Amino acid sequence: MYKKKSLFITFEGIEGSGKSYQSLKLYKYLKKNNFPVILTREPGGTNSAEKIREVILEDYFHPNYKEKFNKYTDTLLYLASRNEHIVNKIRPALLKKKIIICDRFIDSTLAYQVFGKGVNKNMVNAIHKYILGNIKPDLTFILKVNISKALLRLNKRKKKNRYDKFSKNFYSKVQRAFIKIAEKNKKKYCVLDNSKDSSEVENVILKKFFDISRN
């Protein structure tokens, strides 16, 4: 039996891992069964955060530009977007005892910007300490995938953004970072292989959700 309380569930993984698909599946199931659930994403999730998202993505759609955002500028924009998201959506939803499903959160910053691009971890942690307060996910699903399979999925996308255009080596590096993050706190992380297009992963996600919602 579901005990009415706030729950914050995040989905993480590289592009083509199926995290957006699986987060949407969970959201639809819970919504259909009258759970007080919202689905959101990062970067974005609110009007102000989505505007910052557009700035971040716009910088990568002009290959002829000689000047690009420095990796720290890029990271600070992500963190600014996150702050808007927390202030205007996540914290209010938690106070109303909502179930929040978020497509990407802080682990993506650590995997992509810190591990992937070499941004200083202490800087990111210091800002997170200030903007997050006591907010942290109750459960994080990390979807791993065969890199070749992920690239096949990306090739089928009609609309691509900057994340869909990294190298195979970069995706491998980032995926290893996600798994490394999960290994440090196995109680709150669930790593699932989503290389096969099957319902098995969906079933595990539902089971994990109900396990945590009853506690």
Residue 209 is predicted with a pLDDT of 95
Residue 61 is predicted with a pLDDT of 54
Is residue 82 a part of any domain in this protein?
yes
Is residue 135 a part of any domain in this protein?
yes
In the chain, the number of structural domains is: 1
| Element spanning 48, H or E | helix 47-58
pLDDT along the chain (215 residues), means of 10: 82 91 97 96 97 82 70 95 98 97 97 95 97 96 89 68 67 94 92 88 95 85
- The 10 Å Cβ neighbour count of residue 135 is 15
Is residue 1 a part of any domain in this protein?
no
Residue 56 is predicted with a pLDDT of 86
Is residue 121 a part of any domain in this protein?
yes
Residue 159 is predicted with a pLDDT of 62
Is residue 2 a part of any domain in this protein?
no
Is residue 119 a part of any domain in this protein?
yes
Residue 157 is predicted with a pLDDT of 63
Residue 153 is predicted with a pLDDT of 73
CATH code of the domain in which 67 resides: 3.40.50.300
Residue 13 lies in domain: 7-214
Residue 150 is predicted with a pLDDT of 77
Question: Residue 141's beta-bridge partner residues?
Answer: 11, 190
Residue with structure tokens 């989505």?
50
Is residue 195 a part of any domain in this protein?
yes
Is residue 201 a part of any domain in this protein?
yes
Residue 169 is predicted with a pLDDT of 85
End-to-end CA distance of the chain: 10
